[in-house]
């Protein structure tokens, strides 16, 4: 069974698809995301990704990652404050009053850059290529470079293959999500969903909704998992 490493794993959008395709997965995150019955579905290591060294992952056959996107997303919005922050990061003007985010471009992109550092260290440790796919938002392109391709609002960097597939995964009742012509697509079905999102109440509800929205969709994670599982099987 091939091993995958899921960095900034959150609720496990990458991991759910990889598990479904026969991978063993270990996730890393700075916190344990637990919202009622919703939690990370595999082995979780609570550790700051910045403190990891890629040589730890010499046995991995794939690395996936979803570094935080909040700052990228905020600056991409048509809001004056976001535009002021972006300009200040580029050295044009001052940060708005009360701003507590990144003060340099290097600080802004350090978590994204850490993914590729870890991949490089892992490859050097084992003496072979360990592929990596990093997911983020469109707004990140202005700061880290153009993505390889996107699937809806999910933008991908790294070793991103061309994908196609169809999976019965229901994000909303009666809606099937699948990949066609390298794009995420949906269509209405005649039956109601067999998989419904459970409404979470209480103090954690807002955090759960945010974490759930950020999850890589099952069709995308399964397609990546299936592609590299087949590649691993051929090489192995």
- Secondary structure element (H or E) that encloses residue 123, with its range: helix 110-126
Residue 151 has a pLDDT of 86
Would you say residue 7 lies in a domain?
yes
Residue 136 has a pLDDT of 96
Instruction: For residue range 174-194, list pLDDT tens digits in order.
Output: 445 555 555 556 544 433 332
Residue 109 has a pLDDT of 98
Would you say residue 156 lies in a domain?
yes
- pLDDT higher than 50, residue 197: no
Query: Using CA atoms, how far apart are residues 113 and 135, in angstroms rounded to an integer?
Result: 12
Would you say residue 92 lies in a domain?
yes
Residue 179 has a pLDDT of 55
Write the CATH number for 154. 3.40.50.150
Question: What is the arithmetic mean of pLDDT over 208-227?
Answer: 84
* SS3 of residue 210 by DSSP: helix
More confident residue, 138 or 201: 138
Would you say residue 177 lies in a domain?
no
Residue 186 has a pLDDT of 53
Would you say residue 20 lies in a domain?
yes
Instruction: For residue range 60-119, list pLDDT tens digits in order.
Output: 999 999 999 999 999 999 999 999 999 999 999 999 999 999 999 999 999 999 999 999
Residue 214 has a pLDDT of 76
- pLDDT higher than 50, residue 124: yes
**Tally of domains in the chain:** 1
The β-bridge relationship of strands 165-169 and 34-35 is unpaired
- pLDDT higher than 50, residue 127: yes
Question: What is the arithmetic mean of pLDDT over 6-33?
Answer: 95
- pLDDT higher than 90, residue 132: yes
- pLDDT higher than 70, residue 36: yes
Contact 63, 119 (CB under 8 A): yes
Question: What is the arithmetic mean of pLDDT over 190-211?
Answer: 45
> How far, in whole angstroms, is CA 36 from its chain's centroid?
22
- As a whole number, the mean pLDDT across the chain is 84
Question: What is the arithmetic mean of pLDDT over 210-221?
Answer: 82
At which residue do the structure tokens 């026969």 appear?
22
Q: Can you give the residue range of the structural domain that contains 11?
A: 3-163+202-235
Would you say residue 175 lies in a domain?
no
Residue 211 has a pLDDT of 66
Would you say residue 191 lies in a domain?
no
Specify the pTM.
0.83
Torsion of CA 110, 94, 84, 147, to 10 degrees: -20
DSSP-assigned letters across all residues of 66-120: ----HHHHHHHSS-HHHHHHHHHHTTSSPPPTT--S-SSHHHHTHHHHHHHHHHH
Residue 37 binned pLDDT confidence (cut-offs 50, 70, 90): confident
Would you say residue 180 lies in a domain?
no
Contacts for 80 with CB less than 8 Å, ≥ 6 apart: none
Residue 75 has a pLDDT of 96
């Amino acid at each position: 069974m091939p091993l995958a490493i899921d960095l900034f794993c959150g609720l496990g959008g990458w991991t759910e698809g990889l598990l479904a395709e026969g991978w063993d997965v270990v996730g890393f995150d700075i916190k344990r995301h637990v919202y009622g019955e919703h939690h990370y579905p595999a082995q979780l290591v609570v550790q700051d990704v910045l403190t990891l060294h890629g040589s730890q992952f010499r046995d991995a056959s794939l690395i996936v990652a979803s570094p935080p996107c909040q700052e990228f997303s905020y600056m991409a919005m048509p809001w004056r404050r976001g535009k002021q922050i972006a300009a200040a990061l580029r050295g044009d003007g001052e940060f708005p009053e009360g701003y507590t985010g990144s003060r340099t471009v290097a600080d802004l992109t350090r978590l994204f850059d850490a993914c590729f550092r870890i991949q490089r260290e892992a490859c050097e440790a084992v003496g072979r290529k360990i592929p990596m796919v990093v997911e983020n938002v469109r707004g990140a392109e202005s700061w880290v470079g153009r993505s390889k391709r996107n699937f809806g609002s999910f933008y991908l960097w790294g070793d991103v293959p061309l994908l196609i597939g169809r999976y019965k995964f229901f994000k909303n009742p009666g809606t099937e999500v699948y990949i066609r012509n390298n794009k995420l697509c949906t269509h209405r079905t005649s039956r109601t969903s067999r998989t419904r999102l459970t409404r979470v109440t209480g103090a954690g509800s807002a955090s759960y909704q945010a974490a759930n929205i950020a999850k890589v969709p099952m069709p995308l994670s399964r397609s990546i998992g299936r592609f590299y599982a087949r590649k691993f099987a051929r090489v192995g």
